[in-house]
């Protein structure tokens, strides 16, 4: 995924931008370079201090003791410190903010508790302060450098925490969506139920207006069954889509402008017309919002009936937790149908759809009921094999490959074709970030294609 442009940074970063630029504009250049030299020279020591402190905490040790993570994070932390306090020009806010948000998103994905992140920042702040206090800087200059370091680290944590919270909220919504899917919830039924609730409120309101007297109080839409659902449940299903914000705005206009006008008896005819228009807009937007997520809430890709990749983070996080606790691993298979573009070009998209649909059936037939099959994108599928070692993963991958190779795909009247697959296999190695496993499976898939396709390679 490409990093966002500066204009893509969230609005709440505006205050942080102003503070960042003020800090870097006010500190003398020689002091900023002095800080950069100290941080660059002591980055190794600061990183060691960071891990020595956190590894004494059992909660942190469980996440950091894996050798691969420790080695990778050690280098990453040193690079992060140097990037935050570079020796040349002060970093642009947009670049610094993107980096902090990226780190925060990773922390959210691998579920690093926020209090461990802030504790680590406190360790780094104290370590840099001790290094600076041992220099020959005059007192006033020392105070200024300590203040600068403290504020820069605090700003980095603020940006990181914002992305962490947003990532955690997204994960929570996805987990809730997966829970609803697992319980068999039907978004189509929910859509009709909410449309009915909206129309029931409108009908009751119109009856109340027709027979009202001065003592009659009209029920706000925000207090109706539909309004309560919108405010408390819709965000779980729809997230932050624009349609949701527009519906909330229309509801607010109804409750704060239209209904008070009707109660006062001001231009009731025009007010009722506006009320009907608002209700129609809400009904239309609700339909759009449900249509956008109905495939996701059903949980399956419409063409292949495999799981939607939206559920991958939740499912992988759960399997990583189970594997860590039990010691029984799992594996990922990245499957790609070879020369799929030429299939589409020769037999049309309908022919390609036949290959994907039938191919997905063959994949699901080759795995166990406890395994997970995802439509990863285009002609790629991902299989998560639970409680599987390298031997079982390779046997399963070969079973899929040979089943596809042996199949005659019917793409029209008396027309069929043969298709092959390339498969990359990766076995869980203890890394807490599931994207690490995905990258290994993807590299193995690339190696299989490069080696001639129609083969399985273990990464």
Angle in degrees, 0-180, between the axes of helices 312-326 and 139-182, rounded to the nearest 10: 100
Contacts of 225 (CB under 8 A, 6+ apart): 197, 200, 201
For 381-425, write each residue's pLDDT tens digit: 999 998 899 999 999 999 999 999 999 988 876 788 899 999 999
User: What was the pLDDT predicted at 97?
Assistant: 87
Please provide the average confidence, as pLDDT, over all residues in the chain: 84
Nearest-CA neighbor of 432 among 315, 317, 328, 314?
Answer: 317
Q: Residue 40: what pLDDT?
A: 92
- The span from the CA of 61 to the CA of 358, in Å, is 46
Output helix, strand, coil percentages for the chain, rounded to the nearest 5.
70, 10, 20
Report yes or no on whether pTM surpasses 0.85. Answer: no
In degrees rounded to 5, what are phi and psi of residue 306?
-85, 165
For residue 292, the model assigns a pLDDT of 64
Give dist(CA 159, CA 138) in Å, integer. 32
How far is the CA of 112 from the CAs of 55, 65, 115, 153, in angstroms?
A: 14, 13, 9, 18
Q: Under DSSP, is residue 329 helix (H, G, I), strand (E, B) or coil?
A: coil
What is the arithmetic mean of pLDDT over 271-282? 92
Residue 181 has pLDDT above 50, yes or no: yes
Q: Is the pLDDT of residue 80 over 50?
A: yes
Judged against a pLDDT cut of 80, whether residue 11 lies above it is answered with no
Residue 129, token pair as written in the block: 């302060």
User: Percent of the chain scored above 70 by pLDDT?
Assistant: 87
The mean pLDDT of 323-346, rounded to a whole number, is 90
3 pLDDT band (50/70/90 cuts)? very low
Between CA 185 and CA 188, with CA 187 as vertex, the angle to 5 degrees is 120
For residue 140, name the pLDDT band (cuts at 50, 70, 90). very high
Res. 70 pLDDT band, cuts 50 70 90: low
Helix (H, G, I), strand (E, B) or coil at 97: helix
Q: Where are the domains of the chain?
A: 6-178, 187-298, 307-458
pLDDT tens figures, 107-128? 877 778 888 888 889 999 999 9
The closest alpha carbon to 455, from 392, 389, 404, belongs to 404
Q: Does domain 307-458 have CATH number 3.30.70.270?
A: yes
Superfamily of domain 6-178: Globins (1.10.490.10)
Contact 284, 293 (CB under 8 A): no
Helix (H, G, I), strand (E, B) or coil at 231: helix
Specify the pairing of strand 307-308 against strand 331-337.
unpaired
Query: C-alpha distances in angstroms, 399 versus 98, 255, 312, 333, 392?
Result: 43, 61, 23, 12, 10
The position carrying tokens 């956190």 is: 54
Q: In 3-state terms, what secondary structure has residue 335? A: strand
Distance (Å, whole) CA 65 – CA 50: 13
Are 84 and 160 spatial neighbours (Cβ–Cβ below 8 Å)? no
pLDDT at 12 over 80: no
The Cα 385–Cα 380 span in angstroms is 16
Q: Which residue has the higher pLDDT, 20 or 215?
A: 20
The answer to whether the beta carbons of residues 164 and 114 sit under 8 Å apart is yes
Residue 100 has pLDDT above 80, yes or no: yes
Indicate the pLDDT class of residue 4, thresholds 50, 70 and 90. Answer: very low
pLDDT score of 5 more than 60: no
Class of the CATH domain delimited by 187-298 = mainly alpha
User: Phi and psi (nearest 5°) for 208?
Assistant: -65, -40
Neighbours of 388 (CB within 10 A): 25
């Amino acid at each position: 995924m490409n990093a966002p442009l500066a204009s893509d940074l969230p609005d709440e970063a505006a205050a942080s931008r102003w503070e960042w630029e003020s800090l870097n504009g006010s500190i003398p250049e020689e002091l900023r370079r002095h800080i950069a030299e100290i941080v660059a020279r002591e980055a190794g020591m600061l990183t060691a201090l960071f891990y020595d402190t956190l590894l004494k905490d059992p909660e942190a040790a469980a996440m950091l003791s894996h050798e691969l993570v420790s080695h990778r994070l050690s280098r990453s932390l040193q690079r992060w410190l140097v990037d935050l306090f570079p020796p040349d020009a002060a970093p642009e806010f947009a670049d610094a903010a993107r980096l902090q948000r990226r780190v925060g998103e990773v922390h959210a994905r691998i579920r690093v508790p926020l209090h461990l992140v802030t504790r680590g920042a406190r360790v780094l702040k104290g370590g840099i302060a001790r290094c600076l206090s041992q220099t020959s800087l005059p007192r006033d200059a020392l105070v200024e450098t300590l203040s600068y370091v403290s504020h820069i680290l605090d700003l980095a944590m603020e940006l990181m925490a914002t992305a962490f919270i947003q990532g955690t909220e997204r994960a929570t919504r996805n987990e809730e969506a997966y829970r609803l899917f697992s319980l068999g919830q039907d978004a189509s039924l929910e859509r009709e139920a909410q449309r009915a609730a909206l129309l029931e409120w409108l009908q009751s309101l119109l009856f109340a207006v027709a027979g009202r007297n001065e003592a009659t109080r009209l029920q706000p839409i925000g207090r109706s069954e539909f309004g309560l659902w919108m405010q408390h449940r819709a965000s779980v299903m729809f997230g932050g889509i624009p349609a949701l914000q527009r519906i909330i705005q229309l509801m607010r206009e109804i409750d704060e402008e239209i209904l008070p006008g009707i109660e006062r008896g001001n231009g009731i005819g025009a007010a009722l017309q506006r009320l009907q228009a608002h209700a129609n807009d809400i009904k239309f937007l609700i339909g759009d919002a449900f249509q956008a997520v109905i495939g996701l809430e059903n949980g399956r890709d419409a063409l292949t009936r495999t799981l939607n990749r939206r559920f991958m983070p939740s499912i992988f996080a759960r399997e990583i937790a189970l594997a860590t606790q039990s010691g029984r691993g799992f594996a990922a298979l990245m499957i790609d149908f070879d020369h799929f573009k030429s299939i589409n070009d020769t037999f049309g998209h309908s022919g390609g759809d036949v290959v994907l649909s039938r191919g997905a059936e063959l994949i699901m037939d080759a795995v166990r009921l406890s395994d997970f099959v995802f439509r990863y994108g285009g002609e790629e599928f991902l299989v998560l094999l639970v409680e599987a070692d390298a031997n079982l993963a390779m046997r399963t991958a070969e079973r899929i490959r040979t089943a596809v190779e042996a199949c005659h795909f019917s793409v029209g009247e008396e027309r069929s074709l043969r298709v092959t697959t390339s498969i990359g296999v990766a076995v869980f190695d203890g890394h807490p970030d599931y994207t690490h496993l995905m990258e290994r499976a993807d590299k193995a898939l690339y190696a299989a294609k490069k080696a001639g396709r129609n083969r399985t390679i273990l990464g």
